[in-house]
Amino acid sequence: MKSISKDIIRGNTEMIVLSILNQGDSYGYQVSKTVQELTEGEYILNEATLYTVFRRLEKNNAIQSYWGDETKGSRRKYYKITESGIDQLDANLIEWDYSKKIIDKIIKGKI
């Protein structure tokens, strides 16, 4: 099975996490599972990368964390996107669309 290069994804992990949290609050394992499901197993966001992104986004006030009140199993730390995070996501999506257009022009080589 083919898989996407981690180098291609690396610069976009914040946008990926913000996009998932923009759909609803979630916890680490669920975010990772969602990425794997949406990519049909072609990309797995490893735990170390994911929690590094969570810390960076939280430090920059793009997300907030809170503890869940599960009655079964251990408590989970949930993350939710903030207004600042929504603004960052919007800017990231605009940049992503622009980058795709520029890369397509370079690859196709048409002037």
DSSP character string of 13-32 = HHHHHHHHHHTS-EEHHHHH
Structural domains in the chain plus CATH codes: 9-108 (1.10.10.10)
Chain segment 39-75, per-residue pLDDT in tens:
998 888 989 999 999 999 999 999 999 998 877 778 8
Chain segment 77-88, per-residue pLDDT in tens:
999 999 999 999
> Given a cut of 70, is residue 97 above it in pLDDT?
yes
> Given a cut of 60, is residue 1 above it in pLDDT?
no
The band of 3, judged by pLDDT with boundaries at 50, 70 and 90, is: low
b/e for 14-46, b at 16 or more Cβ within 10 A? Answer: bbbbbbbbeeeebbbeebbebbeeeeeeebebe
Length of the chain: 111
Name the average pLDDT for the chain. 91
E strand or H helix at 9 = helix 6-10
